[in-house]
Amino acid sequence: MNAIDKYDARARAINSLVCVGLDSDLEKIPKAFRRERSPQLAFNRHIIDATAAFAAAFKFNMAFYEAEGAAGWRQLAGSLAYLRRQHPDILIISDAKRADIGNTSAAYARAIFSELGVDAVTLNPYLGRDALQPFLDYKDKGCIILCRTSNPGSADIQNLPAGGRPLWQAVAEKAQSDWNGNGNCMLVASGANPAEMTVIRAIAGDMTLLVPGIGAQGGDVRAVLNAGLNSAGRGLIINSSRGIIFAADPAAAAAELRDAINAQRS
Amino acid sequence: MNAIDKYDARARAINSLVCVGLDSDLEKIPKAFRRERSPQLAFNRHIIDATAAFAAAFKFNMAFYEAEGAAGWRQLAGSLAYLRRQHPDILIISDAKRADIGNTSAAYARAIFSELGVDAVTLNPYLGRDALQPFLDYKDKGCIILCRTSNPGSADIQNLPAGGRPLWQAVAEKAQSDWNGNGNCMLVASGANPAEMTVIRAIAGDMTLLVPGIGAQGGDVRAVLNAGLNSAGRGLIINSSRGIIFAADPAAAAAELRDAINAQRS
C-alpha cells in the first residue's frame, strides 16, 4: 500500500477529501498556546484532536517550523509522532517544495521520508527529473510535483509558453509520461484555477491532485470538484490551512469543508 | 553594504572568487569526526579553519543538516555562529532553493535570514515573483535565483522553449528586469555550461553569478571565467563542495582552485 492507496483508503473510510494544513505560524497561533513550552506542538495536538475525524490528510508546511530553528524542528517531529500514533491511517504530507541536484535531493528525501517519517512530499520541478528521482525511488511514498500553484505570481513562470502550451502543462505531461514509473506521482493543481485543473485532469488521467487555494485563498469548491474529480469520484486532496486551523471552531470549519465538498460529489 | 558588496569586498581583499560548499553529509565526513558529539559542527569548524584564507564565501547546503533532524539544525546554527565570529567578512550562503506562496515564503525568509542569520539564499523561480518577494524585501541580503543548474536533468524543464528562447533565459531576463529592484538579485549559472553562461552574462549585465558544477562536477575553470567574468573582472562566486571538503588536504584544494581561477583573470 503506497501513500496514494493510504489516502484513498482513508478518504473512503471517512467519506472526506479534506486535508488540514498545519501552517502553525508561531506569530498567529492563539495566545493560550504561545505560553506553552512547545507552543507549535501543543497547538498541533489541539488541532489534530479537533479535526482528525474530518481529515483524510494532514499537511505540514515546513517553513513555519524552520522559522523557529531547532526548537521548531523538534516540535514538527513531535507533532508527526503524535499524529502517527493517534491516527496511523491518515496521510501525512510534508509541504516542503524541495528539489536539488541528485546527492542533495537524496539527503532531503532522507530528511523527509526517513528522519521525519512522512508519507508524501511536495516537490519543485524546475531542476528536472534527476532532482526528483531520489524521492521517486521511495516507492511507497508520494511525490507531489508543483504544476500550477495558487499564488498570484504563479503565472510569471508557469504560464510561459513552452512549445505551444503553458509550462505548467508541460510539467503535467512529464509527470504523467516520464516521472510516474513507480506510480507514486501526484500534482499540485491550484483550486483558484478550475479551468486549468480541467486540463491537468485530462493530461494526468486518474492521478491524485493536491489542491491548495481553497478556504483562505478563496477557491470555489463546486468548480474545483467539477474540474478535478477522477473516474473513481476522488483523486483530489483538498487542502485548507488558515481557514481551518485559525477558525474560531476548527472542527466545525473542517466539517463544513468536508460537507461542501461532498455535496458536489454525491 | 549589502550581501553582494560584502562578497566583492572579501573577494578583493583576499584575491579569490572561491566559495567553499559545506555539504557536510554525515555519512561522508571522515570517521574521526563521526565519533564527536556534534560531528557536522566539528567537521565544519575544521574545514572553516583550513580553508577560510582562500574563501570569499561559504555555502551551507541545508539538506545535509535537515537529514539529521533537530540535531542537524543545531549543528548548522553552531557552524554559522562559529563562522560569523571567526570571519565576519566572509559571505555566508544558505543553499536552500526555497520558494513558496507569500506568507510561507515570508516564514522561510525569517528562518534563513533572521533565525540562521545568513547573508544570501538560493531561491527557485517556478512559483513566480510573489514567492520571491519576501526574500527580496530584505534589502541587505542576497537572493540567488536558480537560472541554469548543473545537474544532468536540468534541461528537462529549464531548456523548454519559452517564447523563442529557453526557459532559463526567460528567468535571467525576469531577474534582471523585474526582480532586482533592490539590487540584491544574483543568479545560479552552471559551470558545466559555459556557452549558456555567456548568454546569461549578456542578459544580466554585471549581476553576480553563483557557479556550481566546478570541482567534483567537472566544469572547466577557463571556459567559465571567459564566459562569466563581469566588467569589474569579478561577478562570479565559484563553488566547490565535495572537491574541497572531502579532499585529502582541503586547504590545498581550496588554494589550488583559487589559483586556477586567478590564472585566468590576470
Minimal Cβ distance to A160: which of B97, B124, B162: B162
Q: B265 pLDDT band (50/70/90 cuts)? A: confident
The pLDDT assigned to A163 comes to: 87
CB contact under 8 A, B149 and A162: no
Beta strands in chain B (DSSP E): 18-22, 57-61, 91-98, 120-123, 142-148, 161-162, 165-166, 185-189, 209-211, 236-240
Residues of B acting as catalytic residues: 97
Residues from chain A that touch B115, judged by Cβ atoms under 8 A, are: 66-69
Residues from chain A that touch B69, judged by Cβ atoms under 8 A, are: 73, 77, 111, 115-116
The pLDDT assigned to B104 comes to: 95
Verdict on whether the full-model pTM lies above 0.90? yes
Residues from chain B that touch A70, judged by Cβ atoms under 8 A, are: 70-71, 73-74, 77
Note the Cα A66 to chain centre separation in Å. Answer: 18
Q: Is A187 left (phi over 0), alpha (psi -120 to 50) or beta?
A: beta
Q: Best interface-test mutation with A: which of B65, B101, B129 has the largest number of A CBs within 10 A?
A: B101
Residue given cell 569586498 in the structure block: B9
The pLDDT assigned to A265 comes to: 86
Residues from chain A that touch B133, judged by Cβ atoms under 8 A, are: 153
Positive or negative torsion for Cα A187, A191, A196, A201: positive
Domain that holds residue A75: 3-263
Q: B266 pLDDT band (50/70/90 cuts)? A: confident
Q: Which residue of B has its CA nearest to A168?
A: B126
DSSP string, A97-118: EE--SHHHHHHHHIIIIIIS--
Q: Which residue of B has its CA nearest to A165?
A: B162
Whether A174 is catalytic is no
* Cβ-contact B221, B261 below 8 angstroms: yes
For residue B160, is pLDDT > 90?
yes
Residue B263 CB burial class (10 angstroms; 0-12, 13-18, ≥19):
exposed
* Cβ-contact A258, A18 below 8 angstroms: yes
Minimal Cβ distance to B100: which of A63, A112, A160: A63
* Cβ-contact A24, A64 below 8 angstroms: yes
What's the structural domain count of chain A? 1
Positive or negative torsion for Cα A80, A84, A87, A90: positive
pLDDT digits (tens, 9 = 90+) for B80-94: 999 999 999 999 999
Q: Best interface-test mutation with B: which of A126, A150, A246 has the largest number of B CBs within 10 A?
A: A126
Q: Is A90 left (phi over 0), alpha (psi -120 to 50) or beta?
A: beta
Q: B218 pLDDT band (50/70/90 cuts)? A: low
Mean of pLDDT over chain B: 96
CB contact under 8 A, A126 and B146: yes
Task: Give a three-class secondary structure readout of B188-216.
Answer: EECCCCHHHHHHHHHHHCCCCEEECCEHH
CB contact under 8 A, B108 and A174: no
Is the confidence metric ipTM above 0.85 for this complex?
yes
The pLDDT assigned to A266 comes to: 73
- Please state, in angstroms and as integers, the Cα–Cα distance from residue B3 to each residue in B56, B125, B198, B259, following that order: 12, 20, 24, 24
- The answer, for A208 touching chain B at a CB cutoff of 8 Å, is no
* Cβ-contact A241, A21 below 8 angstroms: yes
pLDDT digits (tens, 9 = 90+) for B15-33: 999 999 999 999 999 999 9
For residue B227, is pLDDT > 70?
yes
> How many Cα atoms occupy the beta-carbon half-sphere of B8 within 13 Å?
19
For residue B54, is pLDDT > 90?
yes
**Strand, helix or coil at A37?**
coil
The stretch B184-194 carries a mean pLDDT of 95
The stretch B234-239 carries a mean pLDDT of 97
% pLDDT > 70, chain B: 98
- Please state, in angstroms and as integers, the Cα–Cα distance from residue A121 to each residue in A25, A71, A145, B26, B88, following that order: 19, 22, 8, 23, 36
pLDDT, greater one: A217 or B252: B252
**Strand, helix or coil at A23?**
coil
Note the Cα A28 to chain centre separation in Å. Answer: 21
CATH of the domain at B90: 3.20.20.70
For residue A122, give the C-alpha cell: 511536495
- Which positions of chain A have pLDDT values less than 50? none
For residue B167, give the C-alpha cell: 526557459
Residues from chain A that touch B240, judged by Cβ atoms under 8 A, are: none
Restricting to A residues 7-66, those with a Cβ less than 8 Å away from any Cβ of B are: 23, 25, 61, 63-64, 66
The stretch B214-224 carries a mean pLDDT of 79
